[in-house]
C-alpha cells in the first residue's frame, strides 16, 4: 500500500497540514442536542437532554471515553483514520454491489463514436491523469486558498479491497502496468505500457480494445471458461471470502485472481446501448453484476454506443477523489476532441510489433464454484431489482440564477430537498450531507446535519398558505445561513458525527455502551448510519452520480450543478411502501421552481423563464 511518505513526496503541502482536531466533549454534546431538537417532541427532547447531561458530566462515561480519544489524538495525526476505515467499510459484511459502491455518469460526447474509440479515449485520459499523479503534476486542490489533503489520490490505482472473514483488508500494487477488461463474463489482462515503459498512445489502445472485442465476441458459445466469476464480488463479504479462499486452491485461479486484484483498475465493455442518462445510471449502479469487479477502486464502463459510466468502491477513497481524477481525464479527452478528432475517430489498426496482445484469463470452474456463481447471480439480480433509481435532468435553471438571488447553490438545494421531503411525507427527518475534512492530515469526511430549527421553520413557512413571499424568503435566507454555520463547523473539524462514532467505538472496546447511544434520539438523528435522507453534492461538474439509500425507508440523493442546469439522482427501495423515487423527483422539481419563483417575486434576482 502507498503510505504517507509517497503522498508527502508527490504533494509537499501534506507536511504542513494540521492534525485532525478532537472536539471538546461539551461542544459535541451541545451540537448533538441542537441537531436532535427539531426531530423530537418536547418530552422526548427533555429525556435526551438528561441522558446527554449524564454522559457529559464530570466523572461520567463521556469523560472517560474522551480520555481514550485524547490519548489516541496525542500519538496520531489523524485519530479517526484507522477506526473510520474499519468501522465504516472493512468490517461491514454487506454486499459491495449497491450498498457500498456508487455510480457515475460521464457527459455525452456530442458526436457519434464507437465503443472501441470511446474505450481507448477513456483509457488514454485515465493514463494521462495517472502520469500527472506519478510526476507530482496533479493540481493541488484547495479550499479558499488553503491546501487540502491529497493522500487519497495515491490510493486509487492498483487498489483492491480483499475479502476476509469478519474483516476485509486493502491491498495495493501501485506499480502495476495493466488493467483488467471485462466483457461477456470473460476477463482480459491488457498491458497499458510498452516494453520500454512508455504508456501506449491512443491508436495502440484502440487496437488493444479491438482485439479484446474480437476474442470476447467470437467466444459466445464456449461456456467452459466463461462463467462470470466477477459476480462473486457482489455477494456478502464473508461468503465471497470463503469462495475466494477455495478458488485460490487452484493455481490457475490463484494466478488469474492476482492479475485482476493487482490491476490498476477495471474496464467493463458493456453490450448494452443506453439511450439516456437514466439508462446509463441504471446500468452503471445496477446492471447484472456479471462484468464488474466490485472490489476494485473503480470500474470504468463503456457501452456499445460509446456512452461512459462508472462503478466505484468507497473504502480507500471518497467519491470526490474519483470525480476529480475523472474530471482531469475528461480534460485530456476534450483536448483530443478539439485538437485531433481524426485520430480519436480512426478505425483501429492491427497491433504493431512489440505490443503485447490482451490475454484472456483462465478459470477452473468446478461444480461447487459454478453453483456459487449461479447463486450470486440470482442474489444480485434480486438486490438490484429492489432499487428504484430516477435521474432528474433539471433544465429550468442552474447555479447562475441561484447565485443571482444572492444564495449559495448548495444551501439552496439542501433546503429544496427538505421542502421536497416534507411535502411528500409531512415531516422532517435526519438528513446527511457529505462534508469534507480534507483540510486536515489524511482527512476524509464528516456529516453536515442539514435539519435545524431554522430549516424546519423555512419548510413550514413554505407550506403555510397564509405566509407572504417576504416572510418565506426571509426564512429561506436564515435557514441557508444556519446551514453555512453547520458546514463551517465541519470544515474546521468540529462536526459531531465522527466524534460520536469515536466515542462509541471506545465504548465498545471497553465493553459497555452508554445510554446516549441506545437512546431513541441517537437513531432518530441519524446516528449509527440511520439518515433517512442521505445527500451528496459532487460539485460544479457535468459528471454526476449516485448511491443507494442509507436506510430501508430512506432516499439517496446526489446532485451536480452547472451554470444553467442541474443533474440529480434519487434512489429508494421498491419494497418500501412509504418511499417513491418518482414522487421524490416530482417534489424536488416543484420545490426548486417554487423557491426560485419566490426569489423572483421578491425582486431579489433577475426574472427567470420558469
Which residues are marked as active site? Answer: 314
Residue 545 in contact with residue 319, Cβ under 8 Å?
A: yes
Q: How far, in Å, CA of 14 to CA of 278, rounded?
A: 39
Torsion, Cα of 309, 287, 219, 305 (10° steps):
-40
Q: How far, in Å, CA of 494 to CA of 430, rounded?
A: 19
> Would you call 348 helix, strand, or coil by DSSP?
coil
Residue 552: half-sphere exposure toward Cβ, Cα within 13 Å = 3
Residue 153 in contact with residue 320, Cβ under 8 Å?
A: no
Q: Are strands 298-302 and 266-269 parallel, antiparallel or unpaired?
A: parallel
Residue 306 in contact with residue 333, Cβ under 8 Å?
A: no
Q: How far, in Å, CA of 374 to CA of 482, rounded?
A: 51
Q: How far, in Å, CA of 152 to CA of 594, rounded?
A: 39
Query: What is the grid cell recorded at 419?
Result: 421542502
Q: How far, in Å, CA of 243 to CA of 370, rounded?
A: 11
Q: How far, in Å, CA of 126 to CA of 523, rounded?
A: 41
Residues 6+ apart with CB under 8 A from 251: none
Q: How far, in Å, CA of 542 to CA of 560, rounded?
A: 7
Most distant CA pair in the chain: distance in Å? 78
Give exposure, 245-265, as e/b (b: 16+ Cβ within 10 Å). eebeebeebeebbebbbbbbb
Query: At residue 94, what are phi and psi to the nearest 5 degrees?
Result: -70, 175
**E-assigned strand segments in 424-538:** 431-436, 445-449, 533-537
* Beta partners for residue 592, in sequence order: none
Q: Where are the alpha helices (DSSP H) in 426-468?
A: 453-463
State the DSSP string of 56-124.
Answer: HSTTSHHHHHHHHHHHHHHH-SSTTHHHHIIIIIIT--S-STTTT-EEEEPPP-SS---HHHHHHHHHH
Q: How far, in Å, CA of 120 to CA of 351, rounded?
A: 14
Place of cell 509517497: 6
* Beta partners for residue 558, in sequence order: 536, 569
Q: Which among 286, 283, 292, 247 is positioned nearest to 265, based on CA atoms?
A: 292
DSSP 8-state secondary structure symbol assigned to residue 350: P
Query: What is the grid cell recorded at 73?
Result: 489524538
Amino acid at each position: 500500500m502507498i503510505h504517507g511518505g509517497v503522498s508527502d513526496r508527490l504533494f509537499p503541502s501534506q507536511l504542513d497540514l494540521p492534525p485532525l482536531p478532537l472536539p471538546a466533549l461539551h461542544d459535541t454534546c451541545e451540537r448533538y442536542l441542537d441537531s436532535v431538537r427539531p426531530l423530537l417532541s418536547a418530552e422526548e427532547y427533555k429525556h435526551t437532554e438528561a441522558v446527554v447531561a449524564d454522559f457529559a458530566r464530570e466523572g461520567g462515561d463521556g469523560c472517560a471515553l474522551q480520555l481514550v480519544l485524547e490519548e489516541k489524538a496525542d500519538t496520531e495525526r489523524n485519530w479517526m483514520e484507522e477506526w473510520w476505515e474499519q468501522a465504516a467499510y472493512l468490517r461491514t459484511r454487506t454486499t459491495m454491489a449497491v450498498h457500498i459502491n456508487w455510480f457515475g455518469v460521464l457527459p455525452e460526447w456530442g458526436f457519434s463514436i464507437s465503443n472501441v474509440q470511446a474505450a481507448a479515449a477513456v483509457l488514454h485520459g485515465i493514463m494521462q491523469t495517472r502520469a500527472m499523479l506519478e510526476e507530482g503534476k496533479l493540481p493541488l486542490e484547495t479550499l479558499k486558498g488553503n491546501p487540502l489533503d491529497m493522500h487519497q489520490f495515491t490510493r486509487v490505482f492498483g487498489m483492491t479491497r480483499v475479502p476476509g472473514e469478519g474483516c476485509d483488508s486493502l491491498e495495493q500494487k501501485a506499480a502495476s502496468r495493466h488493467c483488467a477488461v471485462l466483457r461477456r463474463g470473460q476477463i482480459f489482462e491488457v498491458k497499458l505500457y510498452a516494453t520500454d515503459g512508455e504508456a501506449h498512445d491512443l491508436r495502440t489502445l484502440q487496437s488493444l480494445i479491438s482485439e479484446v472485442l474480437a476474442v470476447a465476441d467470437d467466444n459466445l458459445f464456449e461456456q467452459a471458461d466463461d462463467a462470470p466469476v466477477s459476480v462473486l464480488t457482489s455477494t456478502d463479504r464473508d461468503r465471497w471470502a470463503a469462495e475466494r479462499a477455495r478458488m485460490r486452491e487452484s493455481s490457475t485461479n490463484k494466478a488469474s485472481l492476482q492479475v485482476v486484484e493487482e490491476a490498476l483498475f477495471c474496464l467493463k465493455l458493456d453490450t448494452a446501448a443506453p439511450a439516456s442518462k437514466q439508462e446509463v445510471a441504471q446500468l452503471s449502479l445496477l446492471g447484472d453484476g456479471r462484468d464488474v469487479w466490485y472490489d476494485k477502486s473503480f470500474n470504468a464502463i463503456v457501452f456499445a454506443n460509446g456512452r461512459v459510466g462508472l462503478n466505484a468502491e468507497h473504502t480507500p477513497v471518497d467519491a470526490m477523489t474519483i470525480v476529480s481524477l475523472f474530471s482531469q481525464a475528461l480534460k485530456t479527452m476534450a483536448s483530443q476532441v478539439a485538437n485531433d478528432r481524426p485520430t480519436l475517430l480512426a478505425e483501429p489498426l492491427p497491433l504493431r510489433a512489440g505490443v503485447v496482445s490482451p490475454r484472456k484469463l483462465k478459470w477452473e470452474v468446478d461444480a461447487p464454484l459454478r453453483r456459487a456463481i449461479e447463486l450470486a447471480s440470482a442474489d444480485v439480480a434480486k438486490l438490484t431489482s429492489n432499487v428504484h433509481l430516477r435521474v432528474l435532468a433539471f433544465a429550468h435553471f442552474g447555479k447562475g440564477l441561484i447565485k443571482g438571488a444572492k444564495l449559495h447553490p448548495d444551501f439552496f438545494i439542501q433546503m429544496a430537498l427538505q421542502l421536497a421531503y416534507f411535502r411528500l411525507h409531512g415531516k422532517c427527518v435526519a438528513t446527511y450531507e457529505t462534508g469534507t475534512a480534507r483540510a486536515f492530515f489524511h482527512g476524509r469526511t464528516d456529516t453536515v446535519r442539514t435539519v435545524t430549527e431554522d430549516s424546519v421553520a423555512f419548510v413550514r413557512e413554505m407550506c403555510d398558505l397564509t405566509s407572504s413571499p417576504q416572510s418565506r424568503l426571509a426564512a429561506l435566507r436564515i435557514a441557508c445561513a444556519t446551514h453555512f454555520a453547520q458546514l463551517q463547523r465541519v470544515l474546521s473539524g468540529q462536526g459531531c458525527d465522527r466524534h460520536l462514532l469515536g466515542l462509541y467505538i471506545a465504548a465498545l472496546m471497553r465493553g459497555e455502551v452508554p445510554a446516549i447511544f441506545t437512546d431513541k434520539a441517537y437513531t432518530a438523528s441519524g446516528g449509527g448510519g440511520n439518515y433517512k435522507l442521505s445527500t451528496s453534492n459532487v460539485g460544479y461538474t457535468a459528471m454526476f452520480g449516485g448511491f443507494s439509500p442509507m436506510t430501508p425507508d430512506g432516499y439517496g440523493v446526489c446532485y451536480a450543478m452547472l451554470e444553467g442546469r442541474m443533474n440529480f439522482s434519487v434512489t429508494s427501495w421498491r419494497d418500501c411502501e412509504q418511499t417513491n423515487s418518482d414522487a421524490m423527483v416530482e417534489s424536488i422539481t416543484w420545490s426548486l421552481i417554487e423557491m426560485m419563483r419566490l426569489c423572483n417575486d421578491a425582486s431579489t434576482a433577475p426574472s427567470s423563464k420558469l
